[in-house]
Structure 1
């Protein structure tokens, strides 16, 4: 469950991708609302989500794979990543 998420976090020294993924999950994948909450342009959000997909090896267009990342966030230990 955590392996794809850990691949993302290993390449996310600034924590930007994790924050993006957390916000995206919190906003149920709604691009515009999530981008507004993060204070970024929706194209920036789309770029970050593509990057998360590339690093994780998951297809974020598939519900089961999005769910895996969302559950992975919940399984992380505090401060992990």
Structure 2
């Protein structure tokens, strides 16, 4: 059974950025985040490393250093026909 949740436009935009492919559902994105959280919650050393890497990646994205998933797939010669 599905339910509705409310998120801000900022959160929605961030969820859109996390999507692995264009038609991925928000449910799948949120589940992926929960799975990642569960993994890093179990390992304190990993948690510190992951959080540091996430913060660094967010900083690089804000500076325009990142590429989109579509660009990465194109660079790797992978089609995204989902």
**Could you tell me the TM-score, scaled by structure 2's length?**
0.33
Higher relative contact order (CA 8 A, sep 6+): 1
